[in-house]
Structure 1
Amino acid sequence: MNQLCRDFGIEYPVFAFSHCRDVVAAVSRGGGMGVLGVVAMSPEEIDIELTWLEEHCGGAPFGVDVVMPAKTVDREQGLGDSASVIEDLTALIPPGHREFAERLMEKHGVPRSDGSEPYRFGHGHGAPGLTAAYGKAQLEAVFTHRNTFLVSALGAPPKEVIDRAHAEGARVGAMVGKPEHALKSLGDGVDVYICQSYEAAAHTGEIGSMVLVPDVVDVVGDVPVLAAGGIGSGRQMAAAMALGAQGVWTGSIWLTTRESSTDPRVVQHMLTMKSTDTVRSRSQTGKPNRQIRTAWTEAWDGPESPGNLPMPLQQILYSEYTDRARRAGKYELVGGPVGQVVSRMNKVRSAGDVLLEIIEEYVATMERMSETYRSLG
């Protein structure tokens, strides 16, 4: 147990990001820190999920991950009403982009929508938290509940959010993809920096973990750092700690656990994937986002593409059309965020077993390294 563990009241410095409450609860009960991603949830859904976690974590701490993007179309357009922002933004999607998406659906045998099942972005699908207006409503819902750790998935949150989190008794984490991101918020009160490396799932920068982690460690002084990206085993955790991290942030590794809510057909695909079957693409959210390489990513990143739209317009388009593909069973179009560590995710295990295996291998690796060091002396 290190100082980070003592600060958070956890046994192991393993932070587990998941959109599934069952994974979060399993990791927190097991001695790590589960962190619930709420970007796809309505404020009402957030209330339900956090109430459930309060009842099922056995008193163990858990965290919440929100997005809070600094630059979005709705903010630029002055669309501040969370009740209507999705409809207002949907109307801004250019007809040419819809036509391109429709042709892609036709190419893969996805029938046109007959309107009988209208797609409702933000009601169990999509990521409404990528809008500034909806993200603010989500944050208000989060603050009505107890949570130990509030994480901003796209850089540091605004200073007023950090101050409010501290007043509510929560620590604040900020995802960073380069040391400059950390330096910008260094005096704002961020409690933990999470180094999101190139290998990681979802929104990533361009720097690999072997360079990013020590670079951030060197500029943030005494502020703890978590390494994120390419971490799914004890050996990888040991490497991260050797680089100066005080803990690890994991995400992809939980997608194929028994508790995960990942679509079973997507899970089966992940179990056979190589690292090169992922791609860093703007075709899902409008920002560089590592995900499964699919016919959707290939088309939108290809020469005939009309170009990816800015956040959150691309996400609205992606969610609507890939939802149709999923319902039609055309999974060659259906992907989702996953990191390069997917090549090591080759069997379904319980979240508790994954956590235990990481810790046991970490301890064994540190012992082996100690023996190697002694033999050199």
Structure 2
Amino acid sequence: MDKFESNPLCQELGCEYPIFGFSHSEAVVAAVSNAGGVGIWGATRSTPEEIRDGLRRIRKQVGERPFGVDLVLPKGMPATDDRAAMEAQIPDEHRAFINGLREKYDVPDDGQTGMRSRFVRSEDMAELQLREILNSDVDVFAMGVGSPEAAITRAKQRGKRVVALVGTPVHAQRAIDAGAELIVAQGYDAGAHTGDIGTFSLVPQVVDAAGTVPVIAAGGVATGRHIAASLALGAVGVWMGTAWLFSEEEAVHPVIFEKLQAAGSGDTMRSRADSGKTLRQIRTSWTAEWEADGAPTPLRMPLQDIVVGDFLGAVDRAEVQELMHTPAGQSVAYFNERTTVADIMRDLVAQTREALG
């Protein structure tokens, strides 16, 4: 029991349980923290102003309880937020492919941007986002992709606990060398951006490579048995994302929720169609179209964001059911009812206690 509820990580962060709950929903983040875990807000597609205001709103909801924020900071991004420059690099083949999907599925061209195309992922934008995080009172700063040493150093100087998500032992060592204080070993099972190594193979390797740096397990974690197994592998806690899609606080669109309910572990797949990087999501007509013969190869990030961003925004606004989708991990098989974050946390804690005897 000490490994779960009384470990040093909880004592340092001020949480009751070493359960990190990642979500793009402010309500979920606050609810996870208020239930004794550490909510992590995925803010990489939020503007600097939205990050500033969102962090303030979450703090008001959680009081002194710890919570965090996550950015994606990959290498090789353009220097400036210049959409015209990105548009000029998009091949005609990709434009024609999207136009074909628009006609096939009757997706309106409403002239609006989407979540991925409202701004270009760039060094300038990342710097502005980071400044708002550094100027806030958020407790944890996580990096979902990339672990730049300069960002880590600045965050630590401002009193943030710095977390790096990694998919290989090599990436873990790089993050530790750059100064990361917590490592999330994210296995192949996980939703969103994930690598090639399964969670049970990855976690012990990262634990061995990390030495005294604490490791958190991610990927396929859905029950107390998974949490107990993660602790047995040497992790000090777990990182979860898919579970919260089934919460009332997340308020997933009914069409998406039906797809989540029907999905088993084999109904998810990794695709580069959304961002240019591997993104595990539920299988839909969207993934099938990009896997079909004759489909173009997705472009590198952030070009793929611009290729698909406006189109996917229109898909959601027009509720084109065949193409609507969401990131989700293989743990989706363990959930099928909508409930509250507090209930999910309560079940996880009780199951973990039972699994640990």
Q: TM-score range by the shorter chain?
A: over 0.9
Aligned to 2:313: 323
Equivalent position SS for 2:41 = strand
Q: Distance in 1 between matches of 2:120 and 2:208?
A: 32
- Deviation per CA, 1:185-240: give whole Å up to 9, x if none: 32322100001100000111100011100000011101000000001211111111
AA paired with 1:260?
E
- Deviation per CA, 1:129-167: give whole Å up to 9, x if none: 7433322221112112111110010132x2121111111
Aligned to 2:181: 191
Q: Distance in 1 between matches of 2:88 and 2:132?
A: 27
1:366 aligns with 2:326: no
Deviation at 1:297, TM superposition (A): 1.3
Q: Distance in 2 between matches of 1:128 and 1:255?
A: 25
Aligned to 1:173: 163
Spell out the pairing of 1:111-190 with structure 2 (5 A cutoff): 111=108, 113=109, 117-121=110-114, 126=117, 128=119, 130-156=121-147, 158-190=148-180
Q: Distance in 1 between matches of 2:120 and 2:45?
A: 6
Deviation at 1:91, TM superposition (A): 3.6
Q: 1:86 to 1:138 in 2, by over 3 A?
A: farther
Correspondent of 1:290 among 276, 280, 285: 280
Equivalent position SS for 1:153 = strand
AA paired with 2:34?
R
Aligned to 1:69: 74
Indicate the RMSD between aligned Cα atoms, in angstroms. Answer: 1.6
Equivalent position SS for 2:322 = helix
Q: 1:120 to 1:105 in 2, by over 3 A?
A: closer
Q: Distance in 1 between matches of 2:112 and 2:237?
A: 40
State whether residues 121 and 128 of structure 1, in contact with CA within 8 Å, keep that contact through their aligned partners in structure 2.
Answer: no
Question: Which deviates the most, 38-47 or 85-94?
Answer: 85-94
AA paired with 2:80?
D
Percent identity, aligned pairs only?
38
Q: Distance in 2 between matches of 1:234 and 1:129?
A: 40
State whether residues 113 and 309 of structure 2, in contact with CA within 8 Å, keep that contact through their aligned partners in structure 1.
Answer: no
Q: Distance in 2 between matches of 1:90 and 1:261?
A: 33
AA paired with 2:14?
G
Aligned to 1:375: none
- Deviation per CA, 1:265-315: give whole Å up to 9, x if none: 212220111111111111111011101212121111222112111101112
Q: Distance in 1 between matches of 2:329 and 2:278?
A: 13
Q: Give the alignment's TM-score, normalised by structure 2.
A: 0.94
Aligned to 2:304: 314
Correspondent of 1:299 among 257, 280, 289: 289
Q: Give the alignment's TM-score, normalised by structure 1.
A: 0.90
State whether residues 127 and 315 of structure 1, in contact with CA within 8 Å, keep that contact through their aligned partners in structure 2.
Answer: no
Q: Distance in 1 between matches of 2:319 and 2:15?
A: 42
Aligned to 1:344: 334
Deviation at 1:261, TM superposition (A): 4.0
AA paired with 2:180?
V
Q: 1:233 to 1:61 in 2, by over 3 A?
A: same
Q: Distance in 1 between matches of 2:210 and 2:137?
A: 28
Aligned to 2:40: 35
Q: Distance in 2 between matches of 1:196 and 1:345?
A: 20
Question: Which deviates the most, 300-309 or 57-66?
Answer: 300-309
Q: Distance in 2 between matches of 1:129 and 1:142?
A: 19
Correspondent of 2:201 among 206, 211, 217: 211
- The alignment covers a number of residue pairs equal to 352
Deviation at 1:263, TM superposition (A): 2.3
State whether residues 23 and 42 of structure 2, in contact with CA within 8 Å, keep that contact through their aligned partners in structure 1.
Answer: yes
Q: Distance in 1 between matches of 2:249 and 2:318?
A: 25
AA paired with 2:111?
P
Unaligned ranges ≥5, structure 2 = 1-5
State whether residues 114 and 311 of structure 2, in contact with CA within 8 Å, keep that contact through their aligned partners in structure 1.
Answer: no
Question: Which deviates the most, 321-330 or 186-195?
Answer: 321-330
State whether residues 83 and 120 of structure 2, in contact with CA within 8 Å, keep that contact through their aligned partners in structure 1.
Answer: no
Unaligned ranges ≥5, structure 1 = 75-79, 368-377
Q: 1:86 to 1:351 in 2, by over 3 A?
A: farther
